Chains A and B, each alone.
Chain A
Amino acid sequence: MTMTELSTPQPGIKRFIKVDWNIGALKTAGPRYWSFVWMLIIMTTLGVLAWVVVLTTGGNAMGQRDNFTWGMWFADYMFYVGLAAGGLVVYASVHLFGAEQFRPLSRLAVLMAGVLTMIALLGDLTDLVRVWRIFWFVVTPNISAIFVYTGSAAGFYMVLCFVDLWILVTGVGGEKLAFRMTLIALPVAIYLHTTTAFVLALNKSRELWNSAVLVPIFLTSAVASGVALLLICAYILQHYHVLEFKKSMFRSLATLLATVIIMDLFLLVVEIATVYWPTAAKAGHTLRFSEFLTGPYAVQFLPVLILGVIAFSLLAGRKTRHMPAVQITASALYVVAIFFKRYTLMSMGFAIGPLGQTQTPYIPSLVEALIAIGLLSMGMLFFTIATKILPLRVPLEEHEEADASERADTQNERVLEPGVAL
């Protein structure tokens, strides 16, 4: 079934690249919607102006320094790339594992993943004062530099998400193509998070980063924060009647979130144990980690543990897990916790430099903060407009198909059969 069959000619709908763009919806949007959109436009403009300041005055407009080599942009890169994962996991679980309860979320999830990866990549570019030199990435890439892998993976992943969205919205290729795309997108997502973790983990010069456990931590943090953000977005869009979901969908999402949160926290505890256990402890490691437990960096790191434990506790109770307020609070807490985690991870490379000198904590300059807020606003602007004009609502027929497949397992298998027999 395709959108061509479903769509009926309506005023204000323009068809372009086989997608029905509901431009008319913008005309009928209320003042609250437009004031929100204008606020985002202003913030984005401020971000662009801040970037112009960096391009004209150079890197000294930033709070980063010689011994705090990377800052806000890198924390944001890890954060946004991670958030993008949630979308893909949900999308993949629909088409790969037959988790039909998430089907109504699939278009929203892929849109979110694409937009987040886009702002993650733009964040990298805004850090470069001579951004036009980026063409050397293509001309003389260095195969031993992990940046080449994570950068290209992020670019490919972003394109993949938007192509996936187009396939889901237009229905081109049907379930079979959607399934095949999942087979590509899921390994690419894992590859992206692995290479992002490797940007840190592959440095013997930075003791706290140089840990293989960083790769699984990146995967669990990414999925947890991504699912949490998706859950919040789903509630917001349901509130504004853009999309509708069943309660069971939110319950499934919350259960998935709780599971990934506890895995994420477990891996963190494992890493801390390795740093401090007497038979494993190295002076350089413990000294550096102590900066984050009791030193000046504790304000960055302790929220990761505290918010994480609270979020899990909220979702752990079977009796309360289904309550929207609990789900939203836990999700919001964990998204914030993961932001702190990314910021802390960034700081862990620099708190004590390679020559042993302790650094005062980095705080982004106004210019860096404006760029970061501008990029986030830009992403939200894209998202806000897309939710209005794109057909994100999964057609009823697909729901019914899904319901039918839920009722009969055998039928469910048959639905997936064409894809399985690739």
Chain B
Amino acid sequence: MSQDKTRDERPEGATAPEGTTFSRRHFLTSIGIAAGVVAAGVVPAALMAPSASAEDATPTTAAAAPSVPGGSTDPLAEIIAADGPVNYPGHPVHYAKPAGKEKWAMVIDVKACVGCRKCVYACVEENNIGRTSGFTYIQVLEMEPGKIDLESAVLDYDEAGRPDKWYFPVQCMHCAHPPCVYGCPVQATWKEPDGIVVIDYNKCIGCRNCMITCPYGARHFNWVRPEVPAAEINPKVPLGEKAWTAEKCTFCVQRTRNGQTTACVEACPTGARKFGDLNDPNSDVAILLKTRRVWRLKEEYSTEPMIWYVG
């Protein structure tokens, strides 16, 4: 933005080239046309995309700038700006501390992932996922080489680390434009200011529309009352109140807002997972996004996931 300002400033004594001088009438006409165009665009956009925050609409210098290493602008600025709160009720979800100034993101190196599912198990233990509930937050897909073909992926593979396959962990992407949040009829799920999409289990009516709207199969329903052995219960995470509600990855909100990393990152034996704050230029995620060729799952859906893949 500062650059734009600098460009607009006219040096002292400079005159406009012939034919480009602005009369007041021209100026007012231009303003009128611009306002009309903006209004025409904003009305349907506001109707169609209720999530779009003021931050989303503000163009940043990064939008026009090439996102290459060594560039003069921050290529992450646009991503950070888009990752604002959605349907946020103004206070954090009851089982988490208030959000800080971070913008959380994750980068997963699929080249390093061996499909051992250690992240899956760590996540189940950390997040009080019912042992008989029949789902996990993280789903690791065994993929065929040479393509990203989900339809030929195997979810319940037996043997990990096969050299002729690659492994693709999928979980809640904490999208900047989360279809699940848009689809919840009662605003029982929202995106907090630090980008974490949370669910209020005491408000969820159990209609499961969020599971329909999520393109990543990241949300799961507690068809049974979640059961966790007493010795394994994590007191920082809700348990009983999750019965007959939808749940999903919270980026371990109980850990990450207390200075820790997520359970899956901690458990990964190959270091394939990196988690951190995009606002911190020295964080692993910020460095990886700036320096590596990264991609996101179903990018064409415009959900703007906050989990990137590399490898």
Point out residues on A near B: beta carbons under 8 Å: 58-60, 62, 64-67, 69-70, 127-130, 133-134, 136-137, 139-148, 151, 203-206, 283-284, 287, 349, 352-357
Contact A66 B223 (CB under 8 A): yes
Alpha-carbon distance A136/B188, docked complex (angstroms): 9
Q: Among B187, B203, B209, B223, which residue has its beta carbon within 8 angstroms of that of A59?
A: B223
Q: How far is the CB of B57 from chain A (nearest CB, A)?
A: 17
Partner of A136 from B186, B214, B223 at Cβ < 8 Å:
B186
- Bound: A347/B173 CA distance, A: 25
Say which size band chain B's interface belongs to: 35 or more
Say how far B132's CB is from chain A's closest CB, in angstroms: 9
Judged by a CB distance under 8 angstroms, whether B238 is at the interface is: no
Cross-chain contact B215 with A134 (CB below 8 angstroms): no
| Complex alpha-carbon distance, A391 and B225, angstroms | 50
Within 8 A of A (CB), among B169-204: 170, 179, 182-188, 203-204
Complex interface: chain A residues within 8 A of B261 (CB): none
**Is there an interface contact between A66 and B212, defined as CB atoms closer than 8 Å?**
no
Contact of A284 among B151, B205, B244 (CB under 8 A): B151
Tell me which residues across on chain B come within 8 A of A352, comparing CB atoms: 151
- Do A70 and B244 touch (CB < 8 A)? no
Residues on B facing A (Cβ under 8 Å): 50-51, 87, 134-135, 139, 141, 149-153, 155, 170, 179, 182-188, 203-209, 211-217, 220-225, 243-244, 301
In the complex, 17 of the A-B residue pairs with CB atoms within 8 angstroms, ordered by the A residue number, are A59-B222, A66-B134, A66-B223, A133-B186, A142-B183, A142-B187, A143-B50, A145-B185, A147-B183, A354-B214, A355-B150, A355-B155, A355-B170, A355-B216, A355-B217, A356-B151, A356-B153
Q: A140-B187, A147-B185 are in contact. Are A69 and B150 (CB under 8 A)?
A: no
Q: A128-B207, A355-B216 are in contact. Are A142 and B244 (CB under 8 A)?
A: no
Of B179, B188, B214, B223, the contact of A62 (CB 8 Å cutoff):
B223
Which residues of chain A have C-beta atoms less than 8 A from B141's C-beta?
Answer: 355-356
Contact B209 A145 (CB under 8 A): yes
- CB-CB under 8 A from B179, the residues of chain A are 203-205
Task: Assess whether A130 is in contact with B244, with CB atoms less than 8 Å apart.
Answer: yes
Looking at B135, B170, B182, the one whose CB has the most chain A CB atoms below 10 A away is: B182
Q: Is the beta-carbon distance between B151 and A142 smaller than 8 angstroms?
A: no
Task: Decide: B184 and A142 in contact? CB cutoff 8 A.
Answer: yes
Quote the shortest CB–CB distance from B165 to chain A (angstroms): 15
Candidates A69, A134, A354; contact of B208 at CB < 8 Å: A69
* Contacts known (A137-B185, A145-B209, A356-B152); A65 close to B223, Cβ less than 8 A: yes
Please give me the residue from chain A that is nearest to B245 by CB atom.
A130
Are the CB atoms of B51 and A144 closer together than 8 Å? Answer: yes
> Which residues of the partner chain B approach A62 to less than 8 Å between Cβ atoms?
223
Bound complex: CA A139 to CA B200 (Å): 15
Given the interface pairs A142-B185, A151-B185, the reply to whether A357 lies near B244 with Cβ below 8 Å is no
Does B205 lie within 8 Å of A69, measured CB to CB? no
Contacting residue for A145 out of B139, B182, B206, CB 8 A: B182
CB-based contact A66/B187 at 8 Å: no
A82 to chain B, nearest CB (A): 20
Contacts of A65 in B (CB 8 A): 134, 223
Cα–Cα distance between A349 and B223 once the two chains are bound (Å): 19
Q: Which of B134, B150, B222 is the one whose CB lies under 8 Å from A356? A: B150
The answer to whether A66 touches B220, judged by C-beta atoms less than 8 angstroms apart, is yes
CB–CB B244/A59 < 8 A = yes
| Option from B187, B212, B223 in Cβ contact (under 8 Å) with A64 | B223
Indicate if the CB atoms of B207 and A144 lie closer than 8 Å. no
Residue in A60, A67, A147 whose beta carbon sits within 8 Å of that of B207 in the complex: A147
A128 touches B205 (CB 8 A): yes
Given A60-B224, A355-B155, does the pair A69, B184 have CB atoms closer than 8 Å? Answer: no
Give the distance in Å from the alpha carbon of A139 to the alpha carbon of B188 in the complex. 11
Residues of B within 8 A of A130 (CB): 205-206, 244
Q: Are B209 and A147 in contact (CB under 8 A)?
A: yes
Min CB distance B189 to A, Å, is 9
6 further interface pairs, Cβ-Cβ under 8 Å (given A355-B216, A356-B149)? A140-B187, A141-B185, A144-B51, A144-B183, A205-B301, A355-B217
A58-B244, A69-B208, A355-B216 given as contacts; is B225 within 8 A of A287 (CB)? no
Chain A residues closer than 8 Å to B186, beta-carbon distance: 133, 136-137, 139-142, 145
